[in-house]
């Protein structure tokens, strides 16, 4: 039954990776409210 635990771990890791990418796209692409440096804001600042 080790394979059952192994496949659950692989599926959990893959799902966490997908959720992480979705979260980064949601948070990281909000350039209008970015107050960091131009490099952090994709070349423009939301002053």
Does pLDDT of 6 surpass 70? Answer: yes
- Tens digits of per-residue pLDDT, 7-41? 999 999 999 999 999 999 988 765 566 666 766 66
> Measured between alpha carbons, how far is residue 14 from residues 1, 2, 8, 27 in Å?
21, 19, 10, 20
Q: Is the pLDDT of residue 3 over 70?
A: yes
């Amino acid at each position: 039954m080790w394979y059952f635990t192994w496949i659950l771990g692989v599926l959990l890791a893959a799902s966490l990776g997908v959720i992480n990418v979705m979260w980064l796209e949601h948070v990281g692409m909000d350039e209008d409210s970015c107050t960091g440096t131009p490099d952090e804001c994709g070349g423009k600042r939301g002053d």
